[in-house]
Amino acid sequence: MSNLTLFFKNYVNRLNQAILNLDVKKLKLASDLIKSAIKKGNTIYVCGNGGSAAIANHYVCDFLKYFRQRSKFNPKIISLSNSIETMSAIANDMDYKYVFKYQLQSLYKKGDILLVISSSGNSKNIKEVVNFTNKKNIKTVGFSGFNGGYLNKNATISLHVNAKNYGLSEDSHHVLMHVLLQFLIEDMKKN
């Protein structure tokens, strides 16, 4: 057996373990929160840095297109990680730690929710936006890895995966996004 074969099996086993150790009750709470926002016509905001930004943008793609094609609902979902122009203007003229908070301050309405994706859970811009949401009573779902950091402790619903590796953490968050998406499609067909 090659070293790659062993590495692959080990990686997949570690990914599987990280996902299976998640508190499924919290996943159900996150599902219910997203479902309620969709049914009420509220906006779902998502954000993250780096690879987590890519996952945030993938949420938009899947919920706007895939979910909508398979249900009677038209979810409103916006990624705060999507506009390099807006993010760089805020970062350049103010500070990078405000790139998500500043956007959300202008956009949110009562009943909107925020999905926050951060492997470390400790990025300054993640802390800023979560502090803002908590002050404004905006419900958040936090996807974190490693020890979960600030996000794990301060999100309304924390979906923390105990993955001590950025790849495993991001892969777990991506899988959880697809689990939520596909579960909600099935669940909302019935309602």
Q: pLDDT of 63-114, one tens digit each?
A: 999 999 999 999 999 999 999 999 999 999 999 999 999 999 999 999 999 9
- pLDDT value at position 1? 60
Question: What residues contact 114, with CB distance under 8 A and at least 6 apart?
Answer: 44, 45, 46, 47, 104, 108, 129, 133, 138, 139, 140, 141
Fold of the 3-189 domain? Rossmann fold (3.40.50)
pTM of the model: 0.96
Q: Six-digit token pair at 124? A: 């300054």
